[in-house]
A and B are shown apart, each in its own frame.
Chain A
Amino acid sequence: MVKSFGFLLKALLGLGMAAICWGAFLYARPAQNFVGESSRIVFFHVPQAWVSTLAFFVAAWYSWRYLRTRRIEDDEAASAAARLGFLFCVLATVTGSIFARVMWNSYWNWDPRETSIVLLLLVYGAYLGLRGALEDPERRATLSAAYALVAVVTVPFLMFAVPRMYQSLHPDTVINARGKIEMSADIRIIFFSSMVAFMALSYWMWNLDRRVSRIVRERAA
């Protein structure tokens, strides 16, 4: 059964997110090795990229479940995760590009991480495009599940093999600086709160999408 978020939790999320917005700009200090205030984008960009990647694996998981159980709820969960992942992937790509402009003075550098997020975007686009082209619900569920699973086995290549190939050609300009190497306490607390908040937010949105799918299906029956 699809349970909905408690009202208290949602209120907590709302206040928490507002607090994170405040903290991101007015409490946390700008990090070293970043241009001006640009490190603040990390509080938003990294959780979005993380959620987007997580959503992809969730979609793959439910795709696998669907192929085993043939329950349409599993397909609804997978496609909800894909839609969510796509949204956050777009956000992550855009925020990343803005950051790149400020940090390295160009909107796009084909740095390994940037390439990976664009490839993820393409995978999401392909998955959603496939779903859009198939009308029969079972066929749509089966074929998109199969595609999601093939795509998920190529992901290690996107995420790990390609960047490692590039490291032999280019220096890794990006995100080692934002890693956990030197996060001061104020940054750390906002960062991890933001990760938690974005995950909670996306979980809520995922649930809503699933419930809507179920209602649409029940109404149509």
Chain B
Amino acid sequence: MLGEFTNSTLWQIALLAFGQAFLSVGLSLLIGIPIARVLFTYHFRGRGFILALVTVPFVLPTVVVALGFRSLFGDAIPNGLLLVVLAHAYINIAVVVRLVGAQWATLDPRMEVTAATLGANPFRVFTTITLPSLRNSIVLAASVVFIFSFSSLGIVVVLGDGSSTRTLEQVLLRSTSVLLDFPAAFAAAILQLVVVSLVFVISAQLSRDEPRATVVLERKQISGRKPIIFVTLTCLVAVIVVLSPIASILWSSISSSGGFTLQWWSDLANTSNIRIGSPIDALVRSLGLALGTAVISAILGGAIAIAVMSKKGFVVTLALIPLGISAVTLGLGILLAFSRGSLDLRGTGALIPITHALIAVPIVVAVATPSLRNVDPRRYFVALSLGAAPMRAWWTAFGTVFGGVMLAAGGLAAAVSLGEFGAATLLSRTDAPTVPVQIARLLGKPGESEFATAAVLSVILIIISMTLLLIVDRIASRKVFT
């Protein structure tokens, strides 16, 4: 297997992916930072709506985003590096806005005023005071975007040109599912893991060792002509950027070369398109897998959250490790682990929900642990002192919060499963694809009906994902949760 590391193609692909991820980081920061400034330092009507809107691309399945870009740009921008970088930036705006914005909200605006009174012009204030003060969150956001883009799969499969946009994740998938070249797959997985780990190490090195401000300051009202123009333009650009690909998918699902039509929606139930499988079957399958993933993740993640809720930070970090491993690598690991003897689950259909649960469990732990830690543990002892048995006392103290958290976390896990593409491509049987796999297959075929059917499935996925997230958001904003 070591010989695989002397394969120059592998290194070439790693280098290409590195360059692509670097460009994706640059564009994400360029778009995300002004939006973070507007949404986290100014107070205005509609702010919450725009913040929710810029989060949407991050929760959309990657193949749906890819379809949106293909549909939006048509032949204007051919498949290739530019389209891949644009799509990555689109998905990751939310990462930059949320991470950088959260730190921006704690920066005292008088710091910038002080710099200005010392003679610094606005550009100098921004480059010498504002940006360096945001350094830790910018480094973190850049690392996350880099890792997502470096190990991208759905976007590069649909929007890539097959040469300049290749990623190690693609090599991994192709080696395992087409070429059956496992040494090559392991080499790609290990190289990818090394790069991801290096990014984490470099990110930690670049982060500044200084006390972290945690007090969120009151956002300022917009006054003056320049701030009004800046805020209005930034919000307008954010809304247009986020909605354009989604609107484009919607339009593709209700139009044909002859104009408006609902034919693609009414044809959905037809199984005539049997060569790539029935879309309805794929939808039912995906929903079943999402439900399975939600149940497994909530049980496993809930148990881990209870176990680590009173432990130190690094124990929680251990539970979060799978977040740094790509979906295809996890899928490959599960495939190998459950393909022998009595543990052979390949024919049972359980491999996908197990892999999706492995992806989702860290998210469940990350969501549940802080909420459980927020509950005053003295409630438990009060219940015990009133004569409740330990289990009943625990449930009295933590039960309401735990129930809410598990519902929310299960919803998140289901959303992750619905949109996941890499592991599902590896583990799906040819005749039993999930919806994202089905969409990618449809996009790989020429023809108007294939493209439109992919658009219809994408619209359905968008609606289900957004509904799940709205429910999660509603549960999360309930008082008992905080």
**Do A and B form a real pair?**
no
Chain B residues with CB under 8 Å of chain A are: none
Chain A residues with CB under 8 Å of chain B are: none
